Amino acid sequence: MSCAAKPRANGRCRGCSTEHMKDFVHLHVHSQYSFLDGADTCTTLVARAASFGMPAIAITDHNNVSAMVELTKAAAKHGIKPICGTELTVRHEGSETHEDRSNGGDTARAARTDRPAGHPLSHLTLLAADPCGYSNICRILTDAYMSSPRLDPHASLEILRRHSGHIIALSGCRRGRVASLIAAGRFVEALAAAKELASIFGHDNFYIELQHTLTPGASALNASLAELASAAGLGLVATNNVHYAEKSRFEVHDALTCVRTLTTLDDIHPERRVNAENYLKSSEEMGELFAKYPEAIANTLAIAERCTPGLDLSRRLFPKYQASPGGRGCGNGSVSANDAGNSNDSARHPAGEPAAAILRRLTMQGAVERYGRITPAIRSRLDHELNIITTLGFEDYFLAVWDIACWARSQGIRYAGRGSAADSAVAYCLRLTNVDSIARGLLFERFMSLERAQKPDIDIDFESERRDDVARYVYQRYGEEHVASVCTFNTFQGRSAVRDFGRVLGFPQADIDRLAKTLPHVPADAVRAAFSRYPEMRDSGIPAWKYELLLTLAESVAGYPRHIGTHLGGLVISSEPLTCVTPLQMAAKGIAITQFDKDTIEDLGLIKLDLLSLRTLGAVEHAVDMVRGSGATSDNRATSGSGATNGSHADARSDSCAARSDGSGSGPDPGFDFDRIPHGDRATYEMLNAGETIGVFQLESPAQRALQTRLGADSFEDIVASVALIRPGPIQGNMVEPFIARRRGDEEISYIDPRLAPILDKTYGVVLYQEQVIQIATTIAGFTPGEADRLRKVMTHFRSMREMEEIGRDFVAKAMAGGTDPKVAETIFSYIVGYAGYGFCEAHAAAFADTAYRTAYMVRHYPAHFYAAVLSAQPMGFYSPRTLLVEAKRRGVRVLPLDINRSQEKYSVETIEGTGGKTKDEAIGPAIRVGLMQVKGISKDAIRRILAAREEGKPFRSAPDFLYRVEIPRDIVQNLALAGAFDSLEPNRRALAWRLGSLADDAAALRAACAAAHGSGQAALVGTLEPPIAYETHVGSEMPDFTEVEKFKHEMSILGLCVSRHAMEFFRPVLARGGVLTSREIAGARHGQAVRTAGLVVRPHRPPTRSGKTVVFLSLEDEMGLTDVTVFESIYQKYGSLIYGSPSLLISGTVSRRGDGVSVIARSIQRLGRRQGSSAK
Amino acid sequence: MARKIDAHVRVVEGPAGSPSRFYWPDKWRPVAQVIDYWRESGEWWDGEEEKDYYLITSAGGGCYELCREAPGEWALSRVLD
């Protein structure tokens, strides 16, 4: 045992002279990718095996090969051989019982528990002898997933027979077929099972697996297995069914097992292991355990020697670009949504034209369309980029993305490129992005460089409702076998760790909920710090030792994958069938996903296409439809010609086809074109300057609103800077205040070195963008683009001060070599260090700023349409529907209640004619109607039935008429009634709710009678069987209606909002008497004024600060708008639990006016309730 | 049938650490054969130590389950018929 504790590099153990090196290899090892059944990372396990001097290691996770890239890399690092494998669940058809068949969906649970020997599911260890074997394992796993219930993969013996080549199989653990039959005393059947498996894999490729983890009966089982192997003429092999690297990790594994089995530590469950022996033991330990079976030890080496690594990480599997069937492509930007994809000679590709030539031709055509004329400077830049793209061999990738963008445009699907791809002029000319990188002076090397030679990453946002259409196109274009979505591994973070381990430790559910909800989004290993820092996390009454164990367990699994999921937008395309490269499995949303995530999939030679879904773009399209009055839905827009996409900013002078100056009081505007919104709209900038940006993409957070009131934005550049400024890096680097001061002219702009002026001019001498860091490094220190990019990476990730200091010394030395004064060089580098943390890419900021400006324009000129669209696209953005409606009302937009005869599926816009609303605040013009989608529990099918009944006939005349014509669940009808949907037909909600049951019974009877009349040929009777219209008049008189408070509570419960009144209106009389100000009154208060204000708490958050102290920002919402509140550390430590535990607050503080912005600095905080409301008198 | 005992007993260990004889209830009983042995981690979250169990037959023919609770500390868990 001493060898296990004291491994030495030479394989010789302290205290003994025996050479143990290279006499055992672990062939059955579970990593973290066994999801809740592996307590150490693959890298840790490989390092441990290498430290024992083992020449190889196999990783065999449950039904997946997700660890294989990590295994291959780690093994290369440690100089040992990686063996790819899996522990497969196998179904033995012959053993299937009727019960098993009828409980197919329940077998996942069965597969994880100790089962009787006759159970049809068993484990089998598969090892890839070479890359062919790896591909066969991928095929087997794919079939196992695709032919089984989603969470219950199992392979048939038939599939094993079909793909058994180049695979070495071990008979498995106690849950293996052979071992379980022996344990049940069915030796003859076990022998037959072993022979059957040997016939599948080949006699020399199938071994009987012995394990001795000091469990009861293990010795006897091994003796029987050895006897069986002898009888069958099969080899033995020893494994330890490893689930963690060191013995001390057993506790983590046991707790993870409890998470997996939904048990607590005090529960007994057969999945929990009896002891801590499933660790990666040394050769000596394994030798001692299997002293009786030296052959079993020796065979591990023999198997390892037969295996070659399964993965080749140097391959390239992206397909060669081929023109669409028929040789047709589509043009670039000049092709409108109506005619894109139709015959366009300029995009036809001559047969045999190389991809590089096609890319060059399309780029130059696009350049003409974008710039009008290709100047030498433009040509030089495009040549430079094309040279890098083609030298690195990524022309096919660019063309594939271009092809997808073309198709989307031809279908009227709105999209916008984002990320560092916007640094590329080629991407701009191909209309993949909308940022003119040449005009902005953006560095292509931030995106791609010869030195870095990394795979490019072009991210494109598509409108959310049609992103899947784009994905479908890719599947059709390249074939189902060649395309799949990239998986993502949902890893343990702070909240998930607290929830999981809190339950395992038996915390009360209420405590778990409170802890998880109040915990900021931090990694699982930062929970301890959060618990000590945030007052609302403490004082739960839970025993200290349990808290300590919770924190320890959370730290132990930080970043471990918990389960597999689907990447939001990543697709991979492969030249080879994907099942040769990765197993595929079905995701919950019914699409095939890979078993490798976005990082590891590229190591396999594949390139990920990021086709993302952006709800903002969907909301834009919905809003545009409503503005135009087309009422087009996402389904018919493809042919409506409305979907021009990805256009550039229209010049302010050419705004003839953009909007009217103010659409808020007008009817439909069929000529509205989102892509030709004028760039310099004064009214839009005035709105930004007022900080009235709720609903505006990227600019709506309280911090952004506060920035806008001080920045005085008057150009697109200011918006680009805004997007980049409100980030952790600039905030912590103290760049926001100097930027604002210089922007406003309050502070002089100076440069320590004149060479910085052209680089930092656009940001007033402040280092704001990653591109600027690269330019500084190349200009001042003469870094190559690759060196500069390394600096950018070190700076943005900022994982190590030592690394930063190293590169700093390099920077200063090179700058000095170029003649720069050392003090100047050091000062310049200090700018960069100050910026370290979270740098932001200018290209990305510019891409987002484009959408931000346009959505700001929509909010300013079409608030009803845009807010209706944003409300329909929830969840999105920073605010709840309730807050968005408050903001719409504040802007004078009338909000109309749910109405069974007028509400559409989504929020819609109705034009109010006549003299306006009841009060002067209720403006005439476009008004927002609450959509049926807002009703809790309502299904799309129920909405479809309501709308179909309404459209087929006439409006509903009464509640019975509705119940007669629409068959939907009664609880949904009840919700509609309580939410006021029938108010226009039956104003007494209580009476209607009271009678709904009998009314629904009557309606059902009436429908049955009608059906019978139709069936008997007595159609004439049907007309006499209609529901009574005048019904509601006597129902309403039976009982008093709900009170206003009751109606409010029902609406809040069912809709999450109340159209007729705001919660604060109930408090207002008392609050007003107590001198508590409304948000509107706060907006007019003077700087430094002591005030009290109250409202519903909106999005309290604790962004990082330069000082490191905690500052909480929140908004208080009342019936007139929002009041922003700042809570500094001392006040927060006193009232933190109130801020995060109360839906509404009464806050005393002082008014702070900065620029045009107003906020309240909190001094004391109270919970707002009935009692506190009274105390406000 | 098995009878639960859970009583501390004196045990003399062999070279490999397994029991060679034990004293219960009033005499030393040589171990004839170790039928099985296993290890249990117990309730680690409550600070419980790892224990080794030995299912043995004595020279007299009885079947016993001995537990090493800590180095040098043994208990007779059960007597089996």
- The tens digit of pLDDT for each residue in A978-1035 reads 999 999 998 899 999 998 988 999 888 888 887 787 666 655 555 555 555 544 444 5
pLDDT of A667 reads: 65
Q: What average pLDDT does the segment A812-841 reach?
A: 85
Measure B67 CA to nearest chain A CA, in Å.
13
User: Could you write out the three-class secondary structure of A197-257?
Assistant: HHHHHCHHHEEEEEECCCCCCHHHHHHHHHHHHHHHCCEEEEECCECECCHHHHHHHHHHH
Q: Do B41 and A254 touch (CB under 8 A)?
A: yes
Of chain A, the percentage scoring pLDDT greater than 70 comes to 85
Q: Do B53 and A250 touch (CB under 8 A)?
A: no
Q: Whole-angstrom distance between the N-terminal and C-terminal Cα of chain B?
A: 5
Measure A705 CA to nearest chain B CA, in Å.
50
Of chain B, the percentage scoring pLDDT greater than 70 comes to 100
pLDDT of A540 reads: 63
Q: Which of A603-632 are b and which e, b meaning 16 or more Cβ less than 10 Å from the residue's Cβ?
A: bbbbbbbbbbbbbbbbbbbbbbbbbbebeb
pLDDT of A116 reads: 53
Out of A217, A254, A277, the one facing B39 most closely (by C-beta) is A277
User: Which residues in chain B have Cβ-Cβ distances shorter than 8 Å to A274?
Assistant: 38-41
pLDDT for A521 beyond 50 = yes
Most A CBs within 10 Å, among B18, B34, B45, to test the A interface: B45
pLDDT of A340 reads: 38
Q: What is the dihedral of CA A905, A909, A914, A915, to 10 degrees?
A: 110
pLDDT for A327 beyond 60 = no
pLDDT for A917 beyond 70 = no
Any A CB within 8 A of B16 CB: no
Q: Do B38 and A214 touch (CB under 8 A)?
A: yes
Identify the residue whose tokens are 């224990």: B51
ipTM above 0.90, yes or no: yes
pLDDT in tens, A231-275: 999 999 999 999 999 999 999 999 999 999 999 999 999 999 999
pLDDT of A115 reads: 54
pLDDT for A433 beyond 90 = yes
Collapsing DSSP to helix, strand or coil, A443 comes out as coil
Query: Ramachandran region of residue A892, left (φ > 0), alpha (ψ -120 to 50) or beta?
Result: left
Any A CB within 8 A of B23 CB: no
Tokens of A383: 């040549």
Q: Do B36 and A220 touch (CB under 8 A)?
A: yes
Cα distances (angstroms) measured from residue A140 to each of A69, A159, A609: 19, 6, 26
pLDDT band at A719 (very low <50, low <70, confident <90, very high): very high
User: Which residues in chain B have Cβ-Cβ distances shorter than 8 Å to A183?
Assistant: none
pLDDT for A916 beyond 50 = no
User: Which residues in chain A have Cβ-Cβ distances shorter than 8 Å to B40?
Assistant: 274-275
Give the whole-angstrom CA distance, residue A367 versus residue A79.
Answer: 50
pLDDT band at A654 (very low <50, low <70, confident <90, very high): very low
Q: Do A220 and B50 touch (CB under 8 A)?
A: no
pLDDT for A223 beyond 80 = yes
Identify the residue whose tokens are 């991928």: A138
Q: Which segments of A95-207 does DSSP mark as H helices, in order?
A: 98-102, 107-111, 131-146, 157-162, 177-183, 187-201
pLDDT in tens, A558-597: 989 999 999 989 999 999 999 999 999 999 888 999 999 9
Out of B36, B45, B53, the one facing A265 most closely (by C-beta) is B45
Q: Do A220 and B45 touch (CB under 8 A)?
A: no
pLDDT of A1034 reads: 43
Any B CB within 8 A of A276 CB: yes
Collapsing DSSP to helix, strand or coil, B76 comes out as strand
Closest CA to B59 of B15, B3, B20, B17: B20
pLDDT of A293 reads: 97
Out of A219, A250, A505, the one facing B41 most closely (by C-beta) is A250
Any A CB within 8 A of B39 CB: yes
pLDDT of A1032 reads: 44
| DSSP conformation class of A422 | G
Any B CB within 8 A of A974 CB: no
Query: Ramachandran region of residue A1155, left (φ > 0), alpha (ψ -120 to 50) or beta?
Result: left
pLDDT of A1031 reads: 47
Among A201-210, A287-296, A1067-1076, A1136-1145, name the one with the lowest average pLDDT.
A1136-1145
Out of A216, A217, A276, the one facing B41 most closely (by C-beta) is A276
Collapsing DSSP to helix, strand or coil, B22 comes out as strand
- pTM of the entire structure? 0.81
Any B CB within 8 A of A301 CB: no
| DSSP conformation class of B49 | P
pLDDT of A701 reads: 92
Tokens of A1013: 């009349």
Closest CA to A654 of A668, A675, A636: A675
pLDDT of A1173 reads: 45
pLDDT of A1170 reads: 60
pLDDT of A10 reads: 39
| DSSP conformation class of A968 | -
User: Which residues in chain A have Cβ-Cβ distances shorter than 8 Å to B41?
Assistant: 250, 254, 273-276
Q: Do B38 and A215 touch (CB under 8 A)?
A: yes
Q: Do A219 and B44 touch (CB under 8 A)?
A: no
Helices A218-232 and A187-201, packing angle to 10 deg: 60
Any B CB within 8 A of A522 CB: no
Most B CBs within 10 Å, among A219, A257, A279, to test the B interface: A219
Any A CB within 8 A of B40 CB: yes
pLDDT of A6 reads: 35
Measure A37 CA to nearest chain B CA, in Å.
18
User: Which residues in chain A have Cβ-Cβ distances shorter than 8 Å to B45?
Assistant: 251, 265, 505, 549
Measure B9 CA to nearest chain A CA, in Å.
22
Any B CB within 8 A of A215 CB: yes
Collapsing DSSP to helix, strand or coil, A499 comes out as helix
Q: Do B44 and A251 touch (CB under 8 A)?
A: yes
pLDDT band at A13 (very low <50, low <70, confident <90, very high): very low
pLDDT band at A1161 (very low <50, low <70, confident <90, very high): very high
User: Which residues in chain A have Cβ-Cβ distances shorter than 8 Å to B39?
Assistant: 214-215, 274-277
User: Which residues in chain A have Cβ-Cβ distances shorter than 8 Å to B37?
Assistant: 214, 219
Of chain A, the percentage scoring pLDDT greater than 90 comes to 66
Among A332-336, A363-367, A964-968, name the one with the lowest average pLDDT.
A332-336
pLDDT of A736 reads: 87
Any B CB within 8 A of A1 CB: no
Measure A519 CA to nearest chain B CA, in Å.
25
Collapsing DSSP to helix, strand or coil, A465 comes out as helix
User: Which residues in chain B have Cβ-Cβ distances shorter than 8 Å to A254?
Assistant: 41, 44
Q: Do B50 and A275 touch (CB under 8 A)?
A: yes
Q: What average pLDDT does the segment A853-869 reach?
A: 96
From start to end of A546-656, where are the E strands? 561-573, 584-586, 592-594, 607-614
> A994 with A1034: CB under 8 angstroms?
no
Identify the residue whose tokens are 């179904």: A91
Give the whole-angstrom CA distance, residue A163 versus residue A553.
Answer: 41
Any B CB within 8 A of A2 CB: no
pLDDT for A335 beyond 60 = no
Any B CB within 8 A of A251 CB: yes
Tokens of A80: 């040992």
pLDDT band at B51 (very low <50, low <70, confident <90, very high): very high
pLDDT of A375 reads: 96
A&B contacts, CB < 8 Å: 38
pLDDT in tens, A797-810: 665 677 778 888 99
Q: Do B41 and A274 touch (CB under 8 A)?
A: yes
Nearest chain B residue to A215 by CA distance is B38
pLDDT of A164 reads: 96
Most A CBs within 10 Å, among B18, B33, B35, B39, to test the A interface: B39
Any A CB within 8 A of B44 CB: yes
Among A51-60, A151-160, A623-632, name the one with the lowest average pLDDT.
A623-632
> A1168 with A1144: CB under 8 angstroms?
yes
Measure A190 CA to nearest chain B CA, in Å.
22
Out of A216, A251, A505, the one facing B36 most closely (by C-beta) is A216
Q: What average pLDDT does the segment A1156-1168 reach?
A: 93
Among A172-186, A527-541, A681-695, A732-746, name the one with the lowest average pLDDT.
A527-541
Nearest chain A residue to B49 by CA distance is A275
